[in-house]
Amino acid sequence: MKTIALSLSELIKQPSFWLALILTVVAISILVNLGLWQLNRAEQKQAIQQELDSKQWQTLLPLDDVQPSQESYLTGQRVDVLVTPLHGKYLLLDNQVFEGNVGYLAIQLMKTAQGRYVLLERGFIPAGVNRSILPEVNWLDERYQGEGRLYVRSNNPLSDALMAEDTLPVRIQNLNIAALSRLWQYPIERFVVQPQSIDQQWDYPQPWNPLPMSAGKHIGYAVQWFAMAVALAILALIWLSLAVKSKRKVVNDLP
């Protein structure tokens, strides 16, 4: 026991030991905090999912009664829609995936009865082999009246630039509605309307993915971060044990 204590005292005198210890503690702390953050996100997603489920049974809210200040709570809100299309104001949101196919999300600008400008989703359009040729879309040219639901797209943390191309329809990389409002010179509401009327024939499928990552995936990532923290702690203990043994051998070899 005295030899082990002596070996450990010799080990802690080395600057490299403290450097390794600090780096290990910092790394474990980061991994644990990442795991806790994922658990917190899982709780948030569960709360959002419960809210979305409850909105399925709410009565329809007239679209013109939607308040812009409620933007963060609008996803999943069922609305009574009466809108008129604005000719030529069409979008193709690039790099969308639906059922394993890559394509675009077709969106067009509409005007409500009270003069508000909103984006209405037409649906998913598969992309062709040649990206220079945009797909043909059967855009609405008459007013739409029926049920819909709203969603607010989250910004891409890496890039939320509109990146609008000089095409018709306009091909964009991100649905940055503020930038789109400046481009088209219309005060566009910050949500998108997805039509839901089952009694009308709709030409294109409409993906519904209000939660890009479910609570279960966040929990899975949390488990991975915690597992990495435990693994790093075990490796640190193994390294410490080997270092003590090495020092003990040196101490025993001393005359």
In order, the DSSP letters of 111-150 are EETTS-EEEEEEEEEE--S-TTSPPP-----S-EEEEEEE
Strand partners of residue 90: 108
Q: How confident is the model at residue 220 (pLDDT cuts 50, 70, 90)?
A: very high
pLDDT tens digits along 196-211: 865 566 788 888 877 6
| Contact yes or no for 110/104 (Cβ under 8 A) | no
Helices first, then strands: H and E counts in the chain: 4, 7
What SS3 class is residue 191?
A: strand
Is pLDDT at 58 greater than 60 in this prediction?
yes
pTM above 0.85, yes or no: no
Which one has a higher pLDDT value, 180 or 17? 180
Residue pair 161/83 in contact (Cβ under 8 Å)? The answer is no
- Domain positions in the chain are 2-43+215-253, 77-195
More confident residue, 242 or 205: 205
Q: Write the CA distances from 85 to 2, 106, 122, 184, 202, integer angstroms.
A: 86, 14, 12, 14, 16
